[in-house]
Amino acid sequence: MRAVHHWIDGKALESGSGRSGVVWNPATGQQQATVDFADAAEVDLAVAAAKDAFGSWRSTGLSKRAQIMFSFREIVNGRKAELAAVLTSEHGKVPTDATGEIARGLENIEFACGAAPLLKGGYSEHVSTGVDVYSLRQPLGVVAGITPFNFPAMVPMWMFPIAIMAGNAFILKPSEKDPSTAMLLAEWLAEAGLPAGVFNVVQGDKVAVDAILAHPDIAAVSFVGSTPIARYIYETGTRHGKRVQALGGAKNHMLVMPDADLNMAADAAVSAGYGSAGERCMAIAAVVAVGGVGDALVERIVARIPKIVVGPGTDPTAEMGPLITGEHRDKVVSYIHSARRQGATVVVDGQDYTPPAGNENGFFTGATLVDNVKPGMDVYDNEVFGPVLSVIRVDTYNEALALVNDSPYGNGTAIFTRDGGLARQFQQECTVGMVGINVPIPVPVAYYSFGGWKASLFGDRHMYGPEGIDFFTRTKAVTSRWPDPRESSVNLGFPETR
């Protein structure tokens, strides 16, 4: 059976820990590979390789770094089909989801290619007589990224292109559920000319994570995952003196106002609720129907659900694939049962879906629509992370706004309305990091930055874009004086700026 190893110091390395995990094919429910689980000693090896590479990499010219990143971009762009096939095999993504993920990842590689102007410092001449002050932006050293299963290509691309372009050496700990994408990216970076040790992959579970968080030679950790783990990553990493950005979970609301185009709103709710099988932190999970539009909106959503083609990613017509594991599928289904018990109305039950022949054991569930959901119900209070869309009915905008602002999460939100004044009011009043106006999934483009508020982000820097540059660098101020030797003299007074 195929085995997925680590990538350390420019080559694949088989683990000696004696531990491994199972890699499933979500569409068939069959094991397709094993993945090595690193111990602390193997994390040490990766850090040592990165530390050795950092000295020369940080001194490599920005033009050379950009050339390598451009070459990597061309490799990824030219082999999208190969990468998409790996995403489909291990994650279960359908073709449109896989290619869309790669496209958004490429945006971040392209941003990194042109990041040199953002790595500049500043200069002030003659702050005092004969004294100049200037600032430098320098890399941190060895940095690490810990990434989730739902976007095994895109989320690492949020991190390592910028980190490497800024002069750091990078260690990636991908999800053990779909580990092969990280290895493919490592091979392509080496092919693009990246020196050995600048990019390393350590496979594994919590043992590898804890070793990364405790390692004294890792300066910073970037993380995307659930809120409980994000909090753990942040608290543990900062306790060990690291810079940490940890993006957590979400419960994203989409407000539908009485003046909204209900057909557009229904299209958006279905697309943002069931795309990626709901396994994304920017999924719309809660549609808030305001002022009596609930019946008409639910009717339109119900009419669209049967048209969603659910199936394996090997089916080019499939629009929604399986969930990542059987365990996760069962957890998602449990929210459907609890919603019914707690008084909500299950309008469309995804459990009625029957997988096609050959995929009977796949980790599938169909699209589910739950109406009359209220705060306090499990399906509302928790991040379901599956194709379960809830409808909450309220009478007024203020009630809808309160739902958004009372949520412990603050990742993304959206409002559908024709009222520009109300939309502007909402973008000012909501306590959420990313806002969409008639846009259901407001993921910023690469030259902005991604991140939420409240329990959706631990740390003070959002991911990628300008804030990504800030996270993976630090500034140094230099005060310089080159006086005329003929004017040099002893002066014991306190230095003054004048």
Report residue 283 as tokens: 């999924």
Partners of residue 173 on adjacent β-strands: 146
Q: Which positions ≥6 away from 164 have C-beta within 8 Å? A: 57, 65, 69, 112, 170, 194, 198, 199
Distance between CA 225 and CA 244 in Å, rounded?
Answer: 13
As a whole number of angstroms, the distance between CA 194 and CA 164 comes to 9
Confirm if 402 and 444 have CB atoms less than 8 A apart: no
Q: Residues 6 or more apart from 125 whose CB is under 8 A from it?
A: 132
Q: Are 378 and 359 in contact (CB under 8 A)?
A: no
- Is position 281 annotated as part of the catalytic site? yes
Catalytic residue among 53, 118, 233, 281: 281
What DSSP line would sit under 53-85, residue for residue?
A: HHHHHHTS-HHHHHHHHHHHHHHHHHTHHHHHH
Q: Under DSSP, is residue 34 helix (H, G, I), strand (E, B) or coil?
A: strand
The secondary element (H helix, E strand) that includes residue 431 is none
How far, in Å, are 157, 195, 220, 267, 432 from residue 439 at the CA level?
Answer: 24, 41, 33, 11, 15
Q: Any idea which residues carry the catalytic annotation?
A: 281
